[in-house]
Protein backbone atom coordinates (compact mmCIF):
# COMPACT_ATOMS: atom_id res chain seq x y z
CA UNK A 1 0.00 0.00 0.00
CA UNK A 2 1.37 3.35 -0.94
CA UNK A 3 0.98 6.36 1.27
CA UNK A 4 -1.08 9.32 0.15
CA UNK A 5 -2.54 12.43 1.76
CA UNK A 6 -5.34 10.43 3.39
CA UNK A 7 -3.04 7.86 4.96
CA UNK A 8 -0.54 10.55 5.92
CA UNK A 9 -3.33 12.46 7.68
CA UNK A 10 -4.35 9.33 9.59
CA UNK A 11 -0.79 8.67 10.73
CA UNK A 12 -0.39 12.32 11.73
CA UNK A 13 -3.58 12.03 13.79
CA UNK A 14 -2.24 8.93 15.59
CA UNK A 15 1.05 10.67 16.30
CA UNK A 16 -0.81 13.66 17.77
CA UNK A 17 -2.28 11.48 20.55
CA UNK A 18 -0.54 11.87 23.90
CA UNK A 19 -2.26 9.49 26.34
CA UNK A 20 -3.88 6.07 26.39
CA UNK A 21 -7.21 7.76 27.07
CA UNK A 22 -6.82 9.98 24.00
CA UNK A 23 -5.83 6.97 21.89
CA UNK A 24 -8.77 4.92 23.15
CA UNK A 25 -11.24 7.73 22.42
CA UNK A 26 -9.84 8.25 18.92
CA UNK A 27 -9.86 4.53 18.10
CA UNK A 28 -13.44 4.22 19.39
CA UNK A 29 -14.58 7.12 17.20
CA UNK A 30 -12.66 5.84 14.18
CA UNK A 31 -13.54 2.13 14.29
CA UNK A 32 -16.56 0.00 15.06
CA UNK A 33 -16.51 -2.20 18.14
CA UNK A 34 -16.03 -5.26 15.90
CA UNK A 35 -13.09 -3.64 14.09
CA UNK A 36 -11.46 -2.84 17.42
CA UNK A 37 -11.99 -6.44 18.54
CA UNK A 38 -10.53 -7.77 15.27
CA UNK A 39 -7.45 -5.54 15.43
CA UNK A 40 -6.99 -6.49 19.07
CA UNK A 41 -7.08 -10.19 18.15
CA UNK A 42 -4.54 -9.60 15.39
CA UNK A 43 -2.19 -7.75 17.72
CA UNK A 44 -2.53 -10.52 20.30
CA UNK A 45 -1.68 -13.05 17.58
CA UNK A 46 1.47 -11.09 16.74
CA UNK A 47 2.42 -11.02 20.42
CA UNK A 48 1.89 -14.77 20.75
CA UNK A 49 3.76 -15.49 17.51
CA UNK A 50 6.70 -13.47 18.79
CA UNK A 51 6.67 -15.76 21.85
CA UNK A 52 6.78 -18.72 19.41
CA UNK A 53 3.38 -20.05 20.40
CA UNK A 54 1.99 -22.69 18.01
CA UNK A 55 -0.53 -21.56 15.39
CA UNK A 56 -3.16 -23.93 16.72
CA UNK A 57 -2.97 -22.38 20.19
CA UNK A 58 -3.17 -18.87 18.72
CA UNK A 59 -6.21 -19.81 16.65
CA UNK A 60 -7.89 -21.26 19.75
CA UNK A 61 -7.06 -18.26 21.97
CA UNK A 62 -7.90 -15.51 19.49
CA UNK A 63 -10.62 -17.01 17.31
CA UNK A 64 -8.70 -15.95 14.21
CA UNK A 65 -8.43 -18.28 11.25
CA UNK A 66 -5.17 -20.12 10.65
CA UNK A 67 -4.90 -18.18 7.39
CA UNK A 68 -5.05 -14.86 9.25
CA UNK A 69 -2.48 -16.07 11.78
CA UNK A 70 -0.20 -17.10 8.90
CA UNK A 71 -0.61 -13.67 7.31
CA UNK A 72 0.23 -11.96 10.63
CA UNK A 73 3.30 -14.18 10.93
CA UNK A 74 4.40 -13.07 7.47
CA UNK A 75 4.00 -9.39 8.44
CA UNK A 76 5.63 -9.95 11.84
CA UNK A 77 8.72 -11.32 10.14
CA UNK A 78 8.53 -9.07 7.08
CA UNK A 79 10.77 -6.20 6.05
CA UNK A 80 8.63 -3.34 7.42
CA UNK A 81 8.99 -4.46 11.02
CA UNK A 82 5.99 -2.59 12.38
CA UNK A 83 4.83 -5.34 14.71
CA UNK A 84 8.39 -6.03 15.86
CA UNK A 85 9.00 -2.35 16.59
CA UNK A 86 5.88 -1.92 18.70
CA UNK A 87 6.26 -5.24 20.50
CA UNK A 88 9.90 -4.52 21.32
CA UNK A 89 8.97 -1.10 22.70
CA UNK A 90 6.13 -2.51 24.76
CA UNK A 91 8.27 -5.30 26.20
CA UNK A 92 11.12 -2.89 26.89
CA UNK A 93 8.71 -0.49 28.63
CA UNK A 94 7.18 -3.29 30.68
CA UNK A 95 10.64 -4.47 31.72
CA UNK A 96 11.61 -0.91 32.71
CA UNK A 97 8.51 -0.45 34.83
CA UNK A 98 8.78 -3.78 36.65
pLDDT in tens, 30-79: 999 999 999 999 999 999 999 999 999 999 999 999 999 999 999 999 99
Q: Are residues 23 and 13 in the same domain?
A: yes
Model pTM score:
0.84
Please give the tally of structural domains in the chain: 2
67 and 19, same domain (yes or no): no
| pLDDT (0 to 100) of residue 14 | 96
Assess whether 4 and 43 both reside in one domain.
Answer: no
- Whats the size of the chain, residue-wise? 98
Domain limits at 7? 1-30
Instruction: Please report the pLDDT score of residue 84 as a whole number.
Output: 96
Residues 36 and 21 in one domain: no
Res 4: pLDDT: 85
pLDDT at 55: 96
66 and 39 within one domain: yes
Mark whether 26 and 37 lie in a shared domain: no
**What pLDDT was estimated at residue 11?**
95
Amino acid sequence: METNNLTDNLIAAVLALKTCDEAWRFVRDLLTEEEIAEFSRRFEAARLLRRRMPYRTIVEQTGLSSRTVARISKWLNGPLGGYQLVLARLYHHAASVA
